[in-house]
Amino acid sequence: MTRADIQALADFLPPLRQPGFTAGKVRGGEQTEPGVFQMPFIQYDPVVDAFVKAAYRHSWVLMDFDWPVWAQSDEAKALQDDETAIAMATPEQLGRLITVCVRQERFCDGTLMSAFDSGLILRVVERAATLVGHPSSDLE
């Protein structure tokens, strides 16, 4: 990852820290006519949509990576649950976390919203901001 790729993540820090920021809302589920119900869906905040687009554009969503297996690893669990671990995460580990969050959403609606609501994505973005804030980092 280049400094520009990491900066693209760090740029999301201000909107994610805004008081009252919510990743999205569950919509639908209403009865549209007798016996017919609309399937519930997540309507994401535009910040989340922009984050996903930036993740793809800056190659944070890894293509040659067995994310379902890695998501079950001790490393993945530590990065998700231990604030100390994520505070030391490498750019590669951040990419793996982002990949898991974005790809899981395609199979289970709402997992990305959970990653935002739990603070995981904020912690990833904070780590990216820390990485670009240190000129001595091993970044181009």
DSSP code string of 37-62: EPPPEEEE-HHHHHHHHHHHHTT-S-
**Is 32 domain-assigned?**
yes
**Is 138 domain-assigned?**
no
Identity of the residue numbered 25: K
Distances (CA, A) of 109 to 42, 44, 101, 102: 7, 11, 11, 10
Q: Which residues of the chain have pLDDT under 50?
A: 135-140
**Is 111 domain-assigned?**
yes
> Which residue has tokens 């505070």?
87
**Is 95 domain-assigned?**
yes
What H or E segment, with its residue span, contains residue 107? Answer: helix 91-107
Q: How far apart are CA 108 and CA 111, in angstroms?
A: 6
Confidence (pLDDT) at 134: 53
Q: Phi and psi of 103, rounded to 5°?
A: -70, -40
**Count of the separate structural domains present in the chain:** 1
**Is 124 domain-assigned?**
yes
Confidence (pLDDT) at 137: 44
By the 10 Å C-beta count (0-12 exposed, 13-18 middle, 19+ buried), 94 is classed as buried
Q: How far is CA 20 from the centre of its chain?
A: 18
**Is 140 domain-assigned?**
no
Confidence (pLDDT) at 31: 83
**Is 139 domain-assigned?**
no
Q: Which domain holds residue 56?
A: 3-133
